[in-house]
Amino acid sequence: MGRTSALRRDKSKPPRPGNKSKRTSKGVPKKSLHREYTEAIIFAFIAAYIIKTFFIQAFRIPTASMEDSLLVGDFLLVNKFIYGAHVPFTDWRLPAVREPEAGDIIVFQYPRNPEDDYIKRCVAVEGQHIEVRNKILYVDGKPQPLPPNGKIGTEAKTLDNYGPMTVPDGHVFMMGDNRDNSSDSRFWGPLDKRLIRGEAFILYMSWQFYLGDPELIWTLDQPLTSIVSVVHVGVYHLVRFPWRIRWGRVGMLIE
């Protein structure tokens, strides 16, 4: 009886090739093409999120407060790990490579509305004595030259004189290179270093905008209007490429 059973098993027909599961030479099932694409997309999103959160993030200059060092329409990359990137949903920061220094151009959260991002130049750090007299910046009693591409007008302004004051611990003092057209620490006080996002280091694109250019409208409340706006603005600028690009600024290091 045992021999008959074994014989029957040996004579049983092997499964048809069409019924076999797809396997590699090692017997591991192959992934479907749909699954491979899905995993690749998920991985790309995760990698992009990690890079943006902890390493490098892109920003665009919307105002003239840093002219002529940075122009409206400059697109730049910001080094976020140099000062220690903020860990999302916590009060923690990663270890910093170094602390902010006078002369650094820094992107930070606007103290009066952290949802907005600002960019200014650090002109003094904690413990330094600062004063503005007749448009001239003094740090620890020494006059500081205007940045090479900075500018300042001759017309009298409210903040031509400021201070004296000492930058408190855990703060830096920020000013725009366009001194007469900048909302900076002279208005809202020294910047808490916990609001710093990172240091701007390179321009990857610079686009010349003109008065009358259409502005992008994007709101979840009006999806149709938003889509039409995206198409309109995209086509408008596409037909003006490449004449609007400031080619001499592309790839320029920020100083």
Phi-psi category of 82—alpha, beta or left, where left has phi over 0 and alpha has psi -120 to 50?
alpha
Q: Residue 13 has what pLDDT?
A: 52
Taking the CB of residue 108, how many other CB atoms lie within 10 A of it?
Answer: 24
Q: What is the pLDDT of residue 39?
A: 85
Active-site residue among 65, 182, 185, 206?
65
Which residue type is seen at 186?
R
pLDDT confidence of residue 15: 52
pLDDT tens digits for 8-58?
444 445 555 554 445 555 555 667 888 888 888 999 999 998 999 999 999
d(CA 251, CA 241): 18
Q: Which residues contact 26 (CB under 8 A, 6 or more apart)?
A: none
Q: Which SS3 state, helix, strand or coil, does residue 125 take? A: strand
Q: Rounded distance, CA 186 to CA 163, Å?
A: 9
> In this structure, are residues 29 and 22 in contact, taking their beta carbons and an 8 Å threshold?
yes
Q: How many CA atoms lie within 13 A of 217 on its CB side?
A: 11
pLDDT at site 4: 37
Please confirm, yes or no, whether 65 is among the known catalytic residues.
yes
Position 219 scores a pLDDT of 80
- Name the β-bridge partners of 117: 109
Pairing assessment for the beta strands 162-166 and 142-144 based on DSSP bridges: unpaired
Distance, in Å, from the CA atom of 192 to the CA atom of 212, rounded to the nearest integer, reads 37
> What does the pLDDT read at residue 32?
82
Mean pLDDT of 208-219: 86
Of the chain, the end-to-end C-alpha distance in Å amounts to 91
For 129-186, write each residue's pLDDT tens digit: 999 999 999 999 999 999 999 999 888 888 899 999 999 999 999 999 999 999 999 9
| Domains located in the chain, CATH noted | 57-210+245-249 (2.10.109.10)
Distance CA 193, CA 184 (A): 14
**Beta bridge mates, 124:** 173
Residue 151: active-site member = no
pTM value > 0.85:
no
pLDDT of residue 9: 44
**Residue 38 CB neighbours (<10 A):** 12
Check 69, 120, 193, 206 and give the catalytic one.
120
pLDDT in tens, 66-91: 999 999 999 999 999 999 999 998 98
Query: What is the structure's pLDDT at 29?
Result: 65
CA distance 207 to 227: 22
In whole angstroms, give the CA distance from residue 255 to residue 250. Answer: 14
Task: Give pLDDT, residue 35.
Answer: 84
3-state SS assignment for residue 52: helix
